[in-house]
Amino acid sequence: MIPFYLLLIFLILWHYKDKVLPAIQNFISGTTTRFKYPFWAYLLLPVFGLFLELVGGIPIALVNLIKQLIK
């Protein structure tokens, strides 16, 4: 499902490229935000995304495990 979501994000960004490009240019040119986060915090975002993707499968796995134990 992650490649599908990435494709959808790419299509949305492509559709709104006239609005997205100035925002990216501001980001690259050194505009700062009000909050400063360490670099490692940004590296954790994909890890948390993968974790959230996997957490959705836990209820299904538990139901299948219970069904196997009942048989």
**Does 49 share its domain with 66?**
yes
Both 6 and 32 in a single domain?
yes
Q: What totals of helices (H) and strands (E) does the chain contain, helices first? A: 4, 0
Q: How far apart are CA 25 and CA 19, in angstroms?
A: 11
Domain encompassing residue 21 = 1-36
pLDDT tier at 38, thresholds 50, 70, 90: confident
pLDDT digits (tens, 9 = 90+) for 51-69: 999 998 999 999 999 999 9
What the block records as the tokens of 29 is 């040119």
| Number of independent structural domains in the chain | 2
pTM of the model: 0.42
- The verdict on 45 and 32 lying in the same domain is no
